[in-house]
Amino acid sequence: MTRPTAAEPIHVWFALLPGSLALDWAGPAEALRSANTWLAARGEPERFVLHFTAPRPTLTSSVGLQLSGLEPLPASLPAPSWVVIVGMTGNAIDVAGEDTLNLLHWLRGLRLVAGRLELLTVCAGAVLAAHAGQLAGRRATTHHQHLDELAAIEPRCDVVANRVFVSDGALYSSAGVATGIDLTLHRIAETCGPAIAAHVAQTLVLAQRRGPEDPQLSPFLDHRNHLHAALHRVQDAVTQAPQQAWSVSAMAAIACTSPRHLTRLFVEHAGIAPLAWLRRIRLATAEAALRAGHQVTQAAALAGFGSDTQLRRAWHQFGRAGTPSHLGRRSH
């Protein structure tokens, strides 16, 4: 899949209508703003350029807030761009209004291409996308109150229930309201790396989740649903450089505590011992390297394993299917 390079800003277009649910767009927008802040703190360029666009320059949101200065629906979109469609008030989505019809006409003209033009839907935004013909032949989810509505509007869509979010090529759909933030965290992790996503979640005081369709929580994001600053410092340092010779003592130095106390903190707040967590991070790093085309020896070194044998031992310890070599061949 083509992904934007680190130098390319991603233009994010929040397409709004009268009655658009405020949290559906404000939550993801704050997460992206926070990601930019953390990137700047690391001396890296900001990645996300936020736009708020609508069929008219002024409208009223779901909570009565008057929004003004909205950009007109763009005639063309720069690459890469994400278009975010959000939910609206009501048990069913009324598409008879002039503003909604104008938005649907604009959506129909989008040609989705992964890595260049992607569509993200929050809550009943998926219903609007279905009315625009963008969900035919795709998998998608929406708020549980709109699942039947979505299936009726677009029978060619594989509507998935009981999911936080679903990804299908250039389409990402989330179940509703707060899950839009979950989806945004996932996209930030894919685009900027898991460390930035972890920083954003900490800033927003959020537990990080991925979609239940995934086989497991990402080890980069798992065991970080706590608020202990010293542990986050350790986890940030390890995930940014897993190949270093980490020991409990080295991690304790980051936390400014003793190795024994660090172990107690990990078990109490993260629910796992520090070395067990380190092995999970290294295994996830090796898996990412294998998928990127590295050989097993290279992947082991990048992840901090002392040898191929150590990588293979961790592979089987954590119940991965097949072998590291098999994953590397499958990714080519």
Integer Cα distance of 235 and 220 in angstroms? 9
Both structure tokens of 196: 């930035």
Predicted local confidence at residue 2, as pLDDT: 44
The β-bridge relationship of strands 71-72 and 66-67 is unpaired
Predicted local confidence at residue 212, as pLDDT: 42
Chain position carrying tokens 């989806």: 183
Residues 6+ apart with CB under 8 A from 37: 203
Predicted local confidence at residue 296, as pLDDT: 93
CATH number for the domain formed by residue range(s) 10-196: 3.40.50.880
CATH topology agreement for domains 10-196 and 235-332: no
Integer Cα distance of 258 and 21 in angstroms? 48
**Candidate CATH numbers 1.10.3720.10, 3.30.300.30, 3.30.2030.30, 1.10.10.60; the one for domain 235-332:** 1.10.10.60
Predicted local confidence at residue 292, as pLDDT: 75
Integer Cα distance of 110 and 88 in angstroms? 21
Predicted local confidence at residue 291, as pLDDT: 79
Integer Cα distance of 34 and 40 in angstroms? 10
What is the SS3 assignment for the chain? CCCCCCCCCEEEEEECCCCECHHHHHHHHHHHHHHHHHHHHCCCCCCEEEEEEECCCCEECCCCCEECCCEECCCCCCCCEEEEECCECCCCCCCCCHHHHHHHHHHHCCCCECCCEEEEEECCHHHHHHHCCCCCCCEECCCHHHHHHHHHHCCCCEECCCCCEEEECCEEEECCCCHHHHHHHHHHHHHHCHHHHHHHHHHCCCCCCCCCCCCCCCCCCCCCCCCCHHHHHHHHHHHHCCCCCCCHHHHHHHHCCCHHHHHHHHHHHHCCCHHHHHHHHHHHHHHHHHHCCCCHHHHHHHHCCCCHHHHHHHHHHCCCCCCHHHHHHHCC
Which of 95, 84, 101, 89 has its CA nearest to residue 61? Answer: 89
pLDDT tens per residue across all 332 residues of the chain: 444 555 689 999 999 999 999 999 999 999 999 999 999 999 999 999 999 999 999 999 999 999 999 999 999 999 999 999 999 988 899 999 999 999 999 999 999 999 999 999 999 999 999 999 999 999 999 998 899 999 999 999 999 987 889 999 999 999 877 889 989 998 998 899 887 888 898 888 775 555 444 433 466 777 887 778 899 899 989 988 999 999 999 999 999 999 999 999 999 999 999 999 999 999 989 988 887 788 999 999 999 999 999 999 999 988 888 888 877 555 44
Could you tell me if 13 and 72 are in contact, meaning their C-beta atoms sit under 8 angstroms apart?
no
- Is there a cis peptide before residue 9, judged by omega within 30 degrees of 0? no
Strand partners, 139: 158
Delimit the domains of the chain by residue range: 10-196, 235-332
